[in-house]
Amino acid sequence: MRVAVVTDADGGGLLRALAEDGTPTGPVERVGDLPVAVAERERAARPRWVWAATADLYPRLLAAGARVDRCHDLALTEGILLAAEGRWGEPRSFPAAWARLEGRPVPDDAVRAAVRAGQPALFDHDLLALPDPAELLAGVVAVHGEQQRRLGGLGLLVAAESAGALAAVEMAAAGLPWRPEVHDAVLTELLGPRPRGGAAPLVLQELAGKIEAAFGGQPLNPDSPAQVLRAFAAAGTPLPSTRSHVLREVDHPAVPLLLAYKELSRLHAAYGWTWLDVWVAGGRFRPEYVPGGVVSGRWATRGGGALQIPHALRRAVVADPGWVLVVADASQLEPRVLAALSGDDGLARAAAGGDLYAALAADAFGGDRARAKTALLAAMYGGDVGQLMIVLRRRFPAAVGYVEAAARTGEAGGLVRSRLGRTCPPPSAGWLAATGPAAGPDPDPDAGARARRIARDRGRFTRNFVVQASAADWALVLLAAVRRRLAAGPAGPQLVFFQHDEVMVHCPKADAERVAEVVAEAAEESRRLVFGDTAVRFPLAAAVVDRYADAK
């Protein structure tokens, strides 16, 4: 059973029951208190709620106590469908989908921040012509029905993406437990006391002075790549850039100082005291997650940098008294995904147990784990490793053939898909124009070489896309499975963090063992749903800790 839902400006809303194919099965129901009505219907029938965008409507319902189990997010679904249809550049919001369906001017997604679907008071009525919630409900029903007709084999991906959107709202509401006094202590330890009046932290000032001294005392701003490059050139060491990997190859007394400065400067800029003031309140960090925010299906965030928390600051992520953090991350996820995708028997055997790289090394690389890892990563991400790739191709032909076929498709301008059907972006008009010389009857040698290089770059992207996007499929289904198994409510375990191949649950100590079992069960369910009958296993190492920094 499905129920389409919109809200009105007075706290009520409209509901309409739908069949699985989107056909209405009942009349429009007007309710005076939408959260109460949703909670009652959820208890009675546990329907799949159909709405314009989870991020726009669900926070209000959740804040009022109306937690739902399942939904169909029209905006996220539209994005998946448009990509599958090769229509990447088209706006994917619900208003855009509805406008396309009715042949009206299609609003750009750039207006979405000002347009909260399901809240008609915030629509641009002149542009969207939505004066009445009843019309809005009719649009939700119509778009959903059209999406169901277009869905094809994308049902599991759409369901997982929508479940992820529910989890994103719930994690933001729960918040990641964060101790501001610990954060402040870490910053003080690394940077010195909190500066006042916009001054640089003391440690950065001291490092800047030492860097100047290393270059003979000439004035130098370490934050200026141009000045740093001129200083190295004057010292007889011209460099192409100031990137860290370039600096590490240089023998000069300023290099370790510059590397330390760059690292601490990034920490101060991205996670310093200003970040703490803005993002942490009431002992919680509440990032705004963006499900499917990356083309591979990985998540992004709108500010806050939740997906790149520095290890030093993980000391500030501390469980509440009487509670613990259950942190589970998948070991060597992408190589295991390749084994499952390709059906390569040899790689599947290596991925059936613990350390995949060690098993691979024992099988084909004379026990040299580092060489085995280098070869497999080169196969997935592209790279010239010479003899190692020859060994890998001879021993694991199906696995290497799988990613090389994806690379050839990309080099030819074609599309590749993840296990559940997420589709990569098509080549741009600029790419097509740039690669044209490679196919010409008598190409200019320089233009031809450049075209082939650009084509190979896209091949490396599609080579990795099939693996990384399929890993994102697995992780998203895992997240949905963990969420479904956990008890709801502030007194029970709460999902509080998700990052690519890692989930974190904040729970009472007494529940920790059960939560670890839930995560393991969810990993097995995800393996089964995404990859079917495969010998490959996706082990999740679950650590029960008081603070995040102790998990790894």
Ranges of each domain in the chain: 2-152, 180-276, 284-333+474-551, 334-470
Helix (H) or strand (E) holding 470: helix 445-485
pLDDT of residue 213 exceeding 90, the answer is yes
Q: Give the whole-angstrom CA distance, residue 284 versus residue 437.
A: 55
| pLDDT, mean of residues 263-281 | 96
Give 505-552 pLDDT, tens digit per residue: 999 999 999 999 999 999 999 999 999 988 898 988 899 999 999 997
pLDDT of residue 217 exceeding 80, the answer is yes
Instruction: Give pLDDT, residue 442.
Output: 57
> Cβ(499)–Cβ(476) under 8 Å?
no
Q: How many residues does the chain have?
A: 552
| pLDDT, mean of residues 282-297 | 94
Distances (CA, A) of 229 to 32, 239, 243, 261, 441: 66, 6, 11, 15, 43
Closest CA to 36 of 63, 57, 5, 65: 65
pLDDT of residue 366 exceeding 50, the answer is yes
Q: Give the whole-angstrom CA distance, residue 291 versus residue 538.
A: 22
Q: Give the whole-angstrom CA distance, residue 382 versus residue 463.
A: 7
Give 293-306 pLDDT, tens digit per residue: 999 999 999 988 99
- What CATH topology corresponds to 334-470? DNA polymerase; domain 1 (1.10.150)
Taking all residues of the chain, what is their mean pLDDT, rounded to a whole number? 91
Q: What is the 3-state secondary structure (H, E, C) of 235-302?
A: CCCCCCCCCHHHHCCCCCCHHHHHHHHHHHHHHHHHHCHHHHHHHEECCEECCCEECCCCCCCCCEEC
Instruction: Give pLDDT, residue 121.
Output: 39
pLDDT of residue 236 exceeding 80, the answer is yes
pLDDT of residue 114 exceeding 60, the answer is no
Give the least confident one: 43-47, 125-129, 443-447, 455-459.
125-129
List of long-range contacts for 268-272, beta carbons under 8 Å, 24+ apart:
268/187, 268/191, 268/200, 268/201, 268/204, 270/305, 270/308, 271/305, 271/309, 271/310, 271/313, 272/187, 272/191, 272/201
Distance of CA 171 to the CA centre of its chain: 14
Give 62-93 pLDDT, tens digit per residue: 999 999 999 999 999 999 999 999 998 899 99
Record the tokens describing residue 362, joined without a space: 């024992």
Residue tagged 């040899």 (tokens)? 346
pLDDT of residue 239 exceeding 50, the answer is yes
Instruction: Give pLDDT, residue 115.
Output: 46
Give 7-22 pLDDT, tens digit per residue: 988 889 999 999 999 9
Residues 117-135 as b/e (b if ≥16 CB within 10 A, e otherwise) read: bbbbeebeeebbebeebee
Q: With the C-alpha atoms ordered 245, 246, 249, 251, is the resulting torsion angle positive or negative?
A: negative
Strand ranges, E, within 9-75 = 13-18, 29-31, 48-51, 70-73
Instruction: Give pLDDT, residue 266.
Output: 95
CA dihedral 478→473→118→51, nearest 10 degrees, is -80
Instruction: Give pLDDT, residue 541.
Output: 86
Closest CA to 375 of 403, 352, 406: 403
Q: How many CA atoms lie within 13 A of 261 on its CB side?
A: 26
| pLDDT, mean of residues 305-329 | 95
Q: Which CATH architecture fits 284-333+474-551?
A: 2-Layer Sandwich (3.30)
How sure is the predictor about 186, in pLDDT bands with cuts at 50, 70 and 90?
Answer: very high
| pLDDT, mean of residues 449-464 | 91
How sure is the predictor about 154, in pLDDT bands with cuts at 50, 70 and 90?
Answer: very high
How sure is the predictor about 131, in pLDDT bands with cuts at 50, 70 and 90?
Answer: low
Domain 180-276 superfamily per CATH: Taq DNA Polymerase; Chain T, domain 4 (1.20.1060.10)
pLDDT of residue 462 exceeding 80, the answer is yes
DSSP 473: H
Instruction: Give pLDDT, residue 197.
Output: 84
Instruction: Give pLDDT, residue 124.
Output: 42
pLDDT of residue 123 exceeding 70, the answer is no
What percent of the chain clears pLDDT 90, i.e. is strictly above it? 75
pLDDT of residue 488 exceeding 90, the answer is no
Instruction: Give pLDDT, residue 122.
Output: 39
Strand ranges, E, within 58-171 = 70-73
How sure is the predictor about 120, in pLDDT bands with cuts at 50, 70 and 90?
Answer: very low
Neighbours of 453 (CB within 10 A): 12
| pLDDT, mean of residues 392-415 | 93
Helix (H) or strand (E) holding 228: helix 225-234
How sure is the predictor about 26, in pLDDT bands with cuts at 50, 70 and 90?
Answer: very high
DSSP SS3 for 499: strand
Distance of CA 512 to the CA centre of its chain: 26
DSSP SS3 for 179: coil
pLDDT of residue 393 exceeding 50, the answer is yes
Angle at 84 between CA 79 and CA 537, to 5 degrees: 95
pLDDT of residue 444 exceeding 80, the answer is no
Instruction: Give pLDDT, residue 378.
Output: 87
Rg of the chain's alpha carbons, rounded to an integer?
26
Instruction: Give pLDDT, residue 493.
Output: 94
Q: Give the whole-angstrom CA distance, residue 223 versus residue 234.
A: 18
